[in-house]
Amino acid sequence: MKNIFLVLLTLLLLPAFLFAQKKDSKIKVAAYYFPNYHTDDARNIQNKGAGWSEWELVKAAQPRFSGHDQPKVPLWGYTDEKDPKVMEQKIKAASDYGIDCFIFDWYMYEDGPFLNRCIDEGFLKAKNVNKIKFAFMWANHDWVEIHPYTRGTKQKLLYPGKVSPERFEEIGDELIANYFSKPNYWKIDGKPYFSIYDIQKFIEGFGSIEATKAAMERLNKKAIAAGLKGIHWNMVAWGQPILPVEKVPANVPDLMKLLGFDSATSYVWIHHATLPDSQTDYNQVRDQYMKHWDKAKTEYPIPYFPNVSMGWDSSPRCDLKSEWGNYGYPFMNIIGNNTPENFRKALQMTKDKLLADPNGPRILNINCWNEWTEGSYLEPDTKNKFGYLEAVKSVFK
């Protein structure tokens, strides 16, 4: 009788066990999205003229050395992402090929938004918007003129990333009312995911760590009052700077703990890897990053969501009249040999590494859906067609 009871109990519990195992192995795949591929943003009109978008740099790109694969040509053409129909195409492709979420680079300054038409007019008005989740990484760094940059000239600061405490309260209210409350805004344990790109610039706006933490706690309370469970605070951690305005804090793990962040992540591999050769091999950069991931898992006091980068080539942001060389962003070495197959291998390695940790997170992000002028994109081009998206689908779909 005892044996029969155990058999029946096993049969009853087996479906739940199998479901739990299946659920545990499902990894959320997010892709960063850079929204500077639409015309007539108010700030771009002022600085670049009507009709400008970053596609102009993609079109103008040229090979800068022997074997340099430029220009990149989008298979879908030079589309305008503030058009809901254009975003419908992107959403369909992303969801069909295994992307669960777009993490938009979100620009909000003391004097208002930048590049918001892609999100507000394009993405959120797309008919199939609920097929994919979305979230924000507040790209709160200083915006300097690098579109393109003439080497040797003083880089002009256009929009300071620092915002006042009073302005942050307004920004928080807007986030909750207009975005966090959306049914397809990405939430972790009921908390909307909100990522901070430049932690030093964030703290600078409040004047101290204590004031920064208090502001974060106020936004948590506002979110709870709005029916959410608080905010999932994510920090983008750098190992080394890329943009000329970036400065790496010396005490990243301490800041994570002191400010109460819930998770950490990275934006791109080269925040943690060097590029010693004019075309540094993709697999070499991957291996450098994997070592960083191991270190982050040990040193960070919070869960770390790994990044898989498709590539790196910031040469389209360099003035063609300037001498080419590895002089500092955007004049810098690139990643080569980033074939769809090598990208697929990196995705598989990342998946395996996540699943090997039974208590670890089940989230990764990809750089990037459309960083065309930094050579890191999943959107189809005329050379590889849907190769990079096929790589995602083969590993995660």
| Residue 23 banded pLDDT, cuts 50, 70, 90 | very low
Mean pLDDT of 93-108: 98
* Per-residue pLDDT at 17: 40
pLDDT computed for residue 12 by the predictor: 47
- Residues 231-240 have a mean pLDDT of 93
Q: What is the pLDDT of residue 24?
A: 56
Residue 9 has pLDDT above 80, yes or no: no
Give the pLDDT score at 241: 74
What is the pLDDT at residue 157? Answer: 95
Domain boundaries, the chain: 28-396
pLDDT at 2 over 60: no
73 close to 60: Cβ distance less than 8 angstroms: no
Residue 141: predicted pLDDT: 95
pLDDT tens sequence across 121-135: 999 999 999 999 999
At 19 the pLDDT is 38
Which letter, b or e, does each residue of 73-101 get, where b requires 16 or more Cβ atoms within 10 Å of its Cβ?
ebeeeebbbbbbebbbbbbebbeebbbbb
Domain at 28-396, CATH homologous superfamily: Glycosidases (3.20.20.80)
pLDDT band at 213 (very low <50, low <70, confident <90, very high): very high
pLDDT above 90 coverage of the chain, percent: 89
Average pLDDT for 282-300: 97
Q: How high is the pLDDT of residue 155?
A: 86
Q: Is the pLDDT of residue 4 over 80?
A: no
Residue 223 has pLDDT above 60, yes or no: yes
What pTM, to 2 d.p., does this model score? 0.93
